[in-house]
């Protein structure tokens, strides 16, 4: 049974987060910022979309992250012929019982890696959308709750688009963050090869467990957020809706996401209160997949990241 923490124990979130990242760092080189975002997503019951070319350790990172947390992990390779039941599970006939029983699919896990999520048909993506949004799946008309905590880490290849199904806006909006993984710098590339040369099979020691993570999620909700921070989030989001370079602005879910994630970031840094910097640091990963630029802005070579950074410079930061 997980220990019940008091509000004053917010520092335990930072302690566990650092231990988890340190443990994952024994296997994964770099990606410290990505790991922090993964942990924020876990603390806020959110899902992460990773975009990057193949071979950047996306799968290894997600699997090692789950191992360090001491929770269950499953991987689904998305293909055009993947069926919803391949993810959710199905009812099968048990001859010994003379009745149908549920055979749970890979979604019944704490962390699920949805590899190349845009390669599967919309029907299967819809089944995943229910799991992401409602933390439940429907099998043969019956609803089953998923594990707690539950997090989907999805990957996309931005280069090869032939035979893919672009994610609908409703599903993109379900992702807490959209993170771009770039090539590692020279020093990290050498470190990656050196670790392979050593040939050591590193055993990950679990830092926590599912019950304690649920308790940490409760603890994060106690982090104090002043009303001026809510005003700051509102100003940023409303600015995206009225910006001349943006065709589709951020909706209310973006405001709620910034609010929840700012609390989680503050707790990871050992604070029991939110600052404007917590919000500012999260704006790009929270908003970059929720905004649609106007055609003229894209023709000028602008990116959503550049527009978000400009908006952050224009919005007055509260003191």
CATH number of the domain within which 241 lies: 1.10.8.80
Instruction: Give domain status of residue 200, yes or no.
Output: yes
Q: Is the pLDDT of residue 163 over 60?
A: no
**Judgement on whether residues 137 and 278 belong to the same structural domain of the protein:** no
> What values do phi and psi take at 163, rounded to 5?
75, 20
Residue 199 pLDDT > 60: yes
Please indicate, yes or no, whether residues 265 and 302 belong to a single structural domain of this protein. yes
- Structural Rg of the chain based on CA atoms: 20
Rounded CA separation 19/67 (Å): 12
Same domain, residue pair 46 and 123: yes
Q: Name which of 210, 208, 178 is nearest 46 in CA terms.
A: 178
Tell whether 283 is covered by a domain: yes
pTM: 0.88
Q: Based on the fold, state whether residues 75 and 42 are members of the same structural domain.
A: yes
Q: For residues 92 and 100, is the Cβ–Cβ distance under 8 A?
A: yes
Q: Which residue range forms the structural domain that includes residue 261?
A: 223-314
DSSP 3-state of 214: helix
Of 156, 191, 212, the residue at which a domain comes to its end is 212
Strands of the chain, DSSP E: 47-51, 73-77, 89-94, 99-104, 111-115, 136-139, 142-145, 151-156, 175-180, 246-248, 292-293
Is the pLDDT assigned to residue 5 strictly greater than 80? no
User: Domain ends where: 212, 246, 274?
Assistant: 212
Q: What is the DSSP string of 40-69?
A: HHHHTT-EEEEE--TTSSHHHHHHHHHHHH
Give the CA angle between residues 313, 315, 316 to the nearest 5°: 105
Which residue reads 């603890």 in tokens? 219
Residue 200 and residue 71 share a domain: yes
pLDDT 10s digits, 177-186: 999 888 888 8
Report pLDDT digits (tens) over 101-148. Answer: 888 889 999 999 998 888 888 888 888 888 888 898 888 888 889 989
> What is the pLDDT at residue 162?
60
Asked if the model's pLDDT at residue 100 lies above 80, the reply is no
Q: How far apart are CA 160 and CA 58, in angstroms?
A: 17
CA pair distance 53, 71, nearest whole angstrom: 27
Residue 98 sits in the same domain as residue 139: yes
The per-residue b/e assignment along 131-150, b for 16 or more CB within 10 angstroms, e otherwise, is bbeeeebebeeeeeebbebb
Per residue in 13-55, pLDDT (tens digit) is: 999 999 999 999 888 888 888 999 999 999 999 999 998 887 7
User: Cα separation of 297 and 257, whole Å?
Assistant: 26
48: domain CATH number? 3.40.50.300
Residue 158's pLDDT band, with cuts at 50, 70 and 90, is confident
- Is 1 a member of any domain? no
Q: Are residues 158 and 296 in the same domain?
A: no
pLDDT at 160: 62
State whether 181 and 81 are in the same domain: yes
Residues 36, 115: one domain?
Answer: yes
Name the band, by pLDDT with cuts 50, 70 and 90, for residue 195: confident
Same domain for 112 and 238, yes or no, is no
Name the domain boundary from 191, 212, 233.
Answer: 212
Nearest Cα residue to 249 out of 192, 311, 189: 311
Mean pLDDT of 60-73: 91
- Say if residue 173 is in the same domain as residue 260: no
Number of domains in the chain: 2
pLDDT at site 299: 87
Angle separating helix axes 304-314 and 276-287, nearest 10 degrees = 150
CA dihedral 294, 126, 146, 262 (to 10 degrees): 0
Beta bridge partners of 101: 92
CA distance 74 to 37: 20
- In a domain, residue 319? The reply is no
How many angstroms separate the CA atoms of 271 and 10, rounded?
A: 7
In the block, residue with structure tokens 């789950």: 66
User: What is the average pLDDT value for the chain, to the nearest integer?
Assistant: 87
| Same structural domain, 257 and 162 | no
* Residues 222, 15 contacting (CB under 8 angstroms): no
């Amino acid at each position: 049974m997980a220990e019940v923490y008091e509000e004053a124990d917010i520092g335990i979130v930072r302690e566990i987060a650092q231990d988890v990242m340190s443990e994952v760092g024994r296997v994964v080189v770099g990606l410290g910022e990505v790991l922090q975002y993964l942990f924020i997503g876990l603390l806020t019951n959110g899902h992460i979309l990773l975009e990057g070319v193949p071979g950047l350790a996306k799968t290894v990172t997600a699997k090692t992250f789950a191992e360090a947390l001491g929770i269950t992990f499953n991987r689904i390779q998305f293909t055009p012929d993947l069926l919803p039941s391949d993810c959710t599970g199905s009812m099968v006939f048990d001859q010994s019982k003379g009745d149908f029983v549920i055979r749970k699919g890979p979604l019944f896990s704490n962390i699920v890696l949805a590899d190349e999520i845009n390669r599967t048909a919309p029907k299967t993506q819809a089944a995943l959308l229910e799991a992401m949004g409602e933390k439940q799946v429907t099998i043969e008309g019956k609803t089953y709750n998923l594990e707690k905590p539950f997090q989907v880490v999805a990957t996309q290849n931005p280069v090869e688009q032939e035979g893919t199904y672009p994610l609908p806006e409703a599903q993109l909006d379900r992702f807490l963050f959209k993170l771009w993984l770039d090539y590692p710098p020279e020093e990290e590339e050498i470190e990656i090869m050196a670790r392979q040369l050593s040939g050591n099979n590193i055993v990950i020691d679990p830092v926590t467990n599912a019950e304690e993570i649920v308790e940490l999620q409760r603890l994060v909700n106690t982090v104090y957020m002043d009303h001026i921070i809510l005003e700051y989030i509102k100003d940023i989001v409303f600015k995206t809706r009225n910006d001349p370079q943006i065709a589709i602005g951020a909706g209310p879910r973006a405001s709620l996401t910034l609010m929840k994630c700012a609390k989680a970031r503050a707790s990871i840094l050992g604070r029991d209160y939110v600052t404007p910097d917590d919000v500012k640091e999260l704006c790009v990963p929270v908003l970059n997949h929720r905004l649609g630029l106007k055609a003229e802005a894209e023709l000028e070579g602008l990116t959503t990241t550049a527009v978000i950074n400009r908006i952050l410079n224009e919005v007055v930061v509260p003191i």
